[in-house]
Amino acid sequence: MKTLKNLTLALVATATLVACDNSKKDQAQKNVDAFSNYVDSVSVVSTENLNANWEEIERVYTEKKLQAQSDVETTDDSGVLKSKLNEANSKYTEFKDKHLASSQELVLAKNKMTFRNTFFKGQEIGDDMSFAWVNKDNILSVYDTFVTTAIENKDSYSREDWDEIKMMYEALDSRKNTVEKEGLSSSDNLKIASLKVKFAPTYTIKRTGAKTEENAEAKK
């Protein structure tokens, strides 16, 4: 009788342990699935929405990851779950790297556009820099604003800035060739020539100086 009682207790204990272990596995599976699904969901969100909610995305990611890891570590025979957890984590890391790189590119592109626009009173300059909005009636004013802005801020520009300025300057000159055929007055043409003479030495001196400073910094 005593033997039977002990056997019954052992069976109950075993059943309890199995049930407990299964419960842990189910919980671990649930949290690993939740983590994996979360990674899948954020990886398809638009860059604009990602930027607006990035801190919250990172917070939830960390929370779900830690919960899933904790449950997996306390579960026996968790090889499959660990593999799924690592796969989801790797996917998020790759997604995060791409997002941050893309965000940095957007910031640089926005900064470049803002820099360009300062030379034209806020007028947006497309990547093609066609200056289609420049005509015989406003081209003198455009040149004057461009040259005045460059000279007034000459000490603040880097070598890369001067390279960008040169690119815009050459594109504006290209537009001037077209505008001349559309009836640019001789008077405005002469005034533009005077502005160009004023700009040339400033560009040469300041660009050379910025390049020299850049090389000196690189040697440090």
How does pLDDT run across 13-49, given as a tens digit for each residue?
444 444 445 577 888 889 999 989 999 999 888 877 8
How does pLDDT run across 86-134, given as a tens digit for each residue?
999 999 999 999 998 888 888 888 899 999 999 999 888 888 899 999 9
Whether the per-residue pLDDT at 67 is higher than 80: the answer is: yes
Separation CA 125–CA 22 (nearest Å): 64
Separation CA 194–CA 197 (nearest Å): 5
Note the pLDDT of residue 55.
93
Distance set, CA 170 to CA 41, 116, 141, 158 (Å): 47, 13, 17, 18
Instruction: Output the pTM of the full model.
Output: 0.67
How does pLDDT run across 121-166, given as a tens digit for each residue?
988 888 889 999 999 999 999 999 999 999 999 999 999 999 999 9
Q: Convert 161-218 into a string of H (helix), E (strand) and C (coil).
A: HHHHHHHHHHHHHHHHHHHHHCCCCHHHHHHHHHHHHHHHHHHHHHHHHHHHHHHHHH
